[in-house]
Amino acid sequence: MTIIKEIIELSLDIQRKEPPVPRNQHPKSHGCVRAEFIVERDIPENMRFGVFKEQKTYPAWIRFSNGKPLPDANPDQKFTSPLQQQLALKL
């Protein structure tokens, strides 16, 4: 149990010296789900690159979130809608 207390204390010390940087995108997470991201074979030829290059199924995580951008966010990232709902996809 001592090692756990040491790790916690070290982590808190680091956060006191350098507070965590808040997320600029998706600031409030509300849930994650496991998923499958399926790349179909009928994708147009001019769009077949990266993960879309060939028909394949990828394991994925989807994170749902909402929230307003931070006050100091880049103006291009600020949306005018008061209700913002987002999702992030991780393959």
- The residues spanned by each domain of the chain are 22-90
Q: Express each pLDDT in 4-32 by its tens digit.
A: 888 888 888 887 887 766 666 555 556 78
pLDDT at 49: 92
Q: Say how many residues make up the chain.
A: 91
Spatial distance between the Cα atoms of 3 and 11, rounded to a whole number of angstroms: 12
pLDDT at 89 over 80: yes
Specify the pTM.
0.52
DSSP character at residue 16: H
pLDDT per residue as tens digits for the range 24-64: 655 555 678 999 999 999 999 999 999 999 999 999 998 88
